[in-house]
Amino acid sequence: MWHEFLAEDEVPVYKQEAVVALKNWQPDPEDPEAPEEISRILLSLRIAEYRNLIAKARKGGAQTEEWKPAGRNPVVWELRMEYGEDHFRFYFSEPQDHPWTVVALVAQYKDVSLADPEIEAVQTAHIKKASDRHNLGILWKWGIEAASERPRPQLDHVPRKI
């Protein structure tokens, strides 16, 4: 089960971060025709690619080059997506007391135009943020139990085909 991290007040912070990351755009400085912001079509393609990657991960089909441990942290893992020159990182954990559940913790756009030490510093900060969310989330089970207690839609009133 893929579960997006909820803050203690049940605000879905991961989903907001994923949208911001996927919208990020670094126009090519060498191309005078480059648009100032990402087009709706490109954003739609990125979202489709992201959903495909998450679907593969849910089914256990993500390729080894797409996921790996995040730095030296044994709890946080990194799911990678590259779309052309743009790099995205999605950090997640697998809580021990919730087998078969993956908690999406942090989403980020990786700016590869920075110098290597800066890239590493930014990425290390995002991994620490993911680790902090994992550790803090232990107190309220990352919102997993609250999500499972929400009422489910009743299927008994769905019209049947005749």
Q: pLDDT, tens digit, for every residue of 6-62?
A: 766 666 777 778 888 888 866 666 777 766 677 788 888 888 888 888 787 777 666
Q: What is the pLDDT of residues 101-152, one digit of tens each?
A: 888 889 998 888 889 999 999 999 999 999 998 888 888 777 777 655 544 3
pLDDT in tens, 45-59: 888 888 888 787 777
How high is the pLDDT of residue 118?
94
Q: Using pLDDT thresholds of 50, 70 and 90, give the confidence band for residue 79.
A: confident
Q: How many domains does the chain have?
A: 1
* Cα 117–Cα 120–Cα 122 angle in degrees, nearest 5: 110
Buried b (16+ CB within 10 A) or exposed e, 92-121: bbebeebeebbbbbbbbbbeeeeeeeeeee
State whether residue 131 is helix, strand or coil: helix
pLDDT-derived band of residue 96, with 50, 70 and 90 as boundaries? Answer: confident
90 domain-assigned: yes
* Confidence at residue 15, expressed as pLDDT on a 0 to 100 scale: 78
Q: List the 102-110 sheet strands across, edge first.
A: 2-4, 102-110, 86-93, 76-83, 67-69
- Residue 8 lies inside a defined structural domain of this protein: yes
Task: Report if residue 38 sits inside a domain.
Answer: yes
| Span between the terminal Cα atoms of the chain, in Å | 34
pTM of the complete model: 0.73
Give the domain range for residue 60.
2-146
Check: CB of residue 107 under 8 Å from CB of residue 80: no
> Does any domain span residue 129?
yes
